[in-house]
Amino acid sequence: MRLTVMTDTNKKQSKFALIWGKIVKYGLPMLISVGLCYVLFHDMDFAEMVAFVKSDCDFRLILVAMALGALAFVIRALRWRIQLRSSQIYAPVMPVIYSIAGTYAVNLIFPRLGEVWRSDYIARRQKAPFATVFGSMVADRAADTITVLLLCLLTFFIGGSALRSFFDNKFEFSGILFQLICSPWTYVVGALLLIICIALLRVYRHKPLVQKIIGIGQQLLSGFMSIFHIERIWAWLLLTIMLWGTYFVQMWVCFSAFGMTQELMQTHGLIIVFVCFVFGCISMGVPSNGGIGPYQIAVVFGLECFAAGIDKQQAYAFANVVLGAETLVTILCGILTFIMIAIDNRTNKS
């Protein structure tokens, strides 16, 4: 009798944990997006923002930026296809493109679920092991993470003076922060801490929590290491450069579409485009629906680093148009993708 009661209690706890986990996983990003949008825009005049966009924006260039956004889906798909082929999964080009476009569409509603959907779709279509496809996806995302980190280092290298000047005016601790970033001792201490963490994990490796952490780490490492087993590594590297180059050109085209940002480019050069581009990439790591909220903050922050007295209302209008254009591309490509997947499934059954 006691065992039955304990079992029922455990089931209720497990069900509660599952429900709570889903609320946190899907509800928290929505809450972050709504909260940030309220904080950003509750004092702003939307009619004035719309009037600014109508008068200052060249929508032809925004259409070009949208086309580049769609092209980025294709390039990303071609790159991932090379990784899949290295894992002996020979998926046709179009289904892989569908999987990439569908990933971003799903992430608009359920952040981070798109990657799982992508892996499941390719695994089912090609009758391949889900774990293998998922590991390839992890490698794909690991490559993006490393690329963003390299871009961050490059940002501090080429735009360090402007960033430091901005931080000095805003924050008293900025000098200490930049000294820490530039000091070799920071990296020595970081390496020592990493060694200590690895040693502790080895000592307590039989603990359930430690085993779970080690398991996650091994999966991520396995996915990342698969990059080094790619057969056409030069083609993969070329597509990676093309992918991030397309993202950068997309931001440059959006800067060219507004008179305000054109003037900033004439004053500061392409460095201001690069800094806003990198900050925008970093913001996508914040759990939110399609980057709504964090992206605008990041882009406006990048603009303020070079133009402290910029009109914030105009700056946020610019950021809204950039993100809105990309979101519209994602929605349109997502709708087309799921239509084509339905046709593809019907064709395969026939």
Could you tell me the residue ranges of all domains in the chain? 74-344
Q: Which of 129, 114, 132 is nearest to 219 (CA)?
A: 132
Q: pLDDT-derived band of residue 308, with 50, 70 and 90 as boundaries? A: confident
User: Which of 57-61, 118-122, 152-156, 276-280 is predicted least confidently?
Assistant: 152-156
- Lowest mean pLDDT across 8-22, 101-115, 293-307, 328-342: 8-22
The pLDDT score that the predictor gives to residue 328 is 92
Length of the chain: 350
51-65, 208-222, 298-312: lowest mean pLDDT where? 208-222
Q: Is the pLDDT of residue 8 over 60?
A: no
Strand blocks (E) in 254-308: none
Q: Let me know: does 80 contact 96? Beta carbons within 8 Å.
A: yes
Cα 118 to Cα 132: distance, rounded to the nearest angstrom? 12
pLDDT band at 102 (very low <50, low <70, confident <90, very high): very high
Tell me the C-alpha distance between 35 and 32, whole Å.
5
Angle at 290 between CA 242 and CA 98, to 5 degrees: 55
pLDDT band at 23 (very low <50, low <70, confident <90, very high): low
pLDDT at 165 over 90: no
Is pLDDT of 138 > 90?
Answer: no
pLDDT at 201 over 50: yes
In 3D space, the residue among 107, 101, 105, 137 whose CA is nearest the CA of residue 119 turns out to be 137
If you write DSSP's letter for every residue of 96-161 in order, what string do you get?
A: HHHHHHHHHHHHHHSTTHHHHHHHHHHHHHHT--HHHHHHHHHHHHHHHHHHHHHHHHHHHHHHHH
> So what's the pLDDT on residue 175?
52
Average pLDDT over residues 264-283: 90
Task: Over range 115-125, report the average pLDDT.
Answer: 91
Identify the residue with better confidence: 200 or 252.
Answer: 252
Residue 280: pLDDT over 60 = yes
Q: Which two tokens stand for residue 14?
A: 């497990």
Estimate to the nearest angstrom the gap between the alpha carbon of 253 and the chain centroid.
20
Under 8 Å between Cβ of 303 and 276: yes
Q: What percent of the chain has pLDDT over 70?
A: 73
Predicted confidence (pLDDT) per residue in 328-350, tens digit:
999 999 999 999 998 888 877 66
How many CB atoms lie under 10 A from the CB of residue 62? 20
User: pTM value?
Assistant: 0.77
Amino acid in position 280: G
- pLDDT at position 202 is 78
Mean pLDDT taken over the chain: 80
pLDDT of residue 336: 93
Closest CA to 57 of 332, 328, 329, 319: 319
Q: What are phi and psi of 258, to 5 degrees?
A: -120, 135
* Residue 274 clears pLDDT 80, i.e. is over it: yes
pLDDT score for 213: 73
Q: Which two tokens stand for residue 113?
A: 């679920």
Q: Has residue 302 got a pLDDT over 80? A: yes
Rounded distance between C-alpha atoms, residue 70 and residue 332, angstroms = 10
Calculate mean pLDDT across residues 210-236.
70
Answer yes or no: is pLDDT of 244 > 70: yes
- pLDDT of residue 1 exceeding 60: no
Contact 254, 243 (CB under 8 A): no
Of 203-207, 215-219, 247-251, the poorest mean pLDDT is in: 215-219
The yes-or-no verdict on residue 39 having pLDDT over 60 is no
- Of 285, 284, 286, 258, the C-alpha closest to 272 is 258
